[in-house]
Amino acid sequence: MQISELQPKQGKVDVIVEVVSKEEPRTFEKFGKSGRVCNAKVKDDSGEVKLTLWNDEIDKVNVGEKIQIKNGYVNEWQGELQLTAGKFGSIEKVK
């Protein structure tokens, strides 16, 4: 699968991308628990998309690395597609 094929509310996304940039993580509180969230920009040969990283995922991903997102999910926020591993997906480094 390629970034250009992603659609809003699409699940079971399996894609290999390169991390182009990564913002500073920010903290949030939800349901009495605190967590961290961070936006990154990722690309492949077909285009770029925003990747939302949650908690431990933030430390796994660095600029310049290739990563594989398995069973990811696509959201849309203010007309912009956002990819995330979500609750059931995973992010792994590609060697």
Q: Mean per-residue pLDDT for 30-44? A: 95
CATH number, domain with residue 76: 2.40.50.140
- pLDDT (0 to 100) of residue 19: 98
pLDDT tens across 52-78, in order? 999 999 999 999 999 999 999 999 989
For the chain, how many structural domains are there in total?
1
**Which residues form the domain of 83?**
3-93
Q: Which token pair is 11?
A: 């699940």
Tokens 């992010």: give the residue.
91
Write phi, then psi, for 59 (nearest 5 degrees): -75, -15
Residue 95: pLDDT band by 50, 70, 90 thresholds?
confident
DSSP class of residue 59 equals H
How far is residue 45 CA from its own chain's centroid?
17
Give the Cα separation of 37 and 24 in Å (integer): 9
Q: Mean per-residue pLDDT for 46-54? A: 97
> Buried b vs exposed e over 18-56: b needs ≥16 C-beta within 10 Å?
bbeebeeeeeeeeeeeeeebbebbbebeeebbbbbbbee
Q: What is the pTM of this model?
A: 0.92
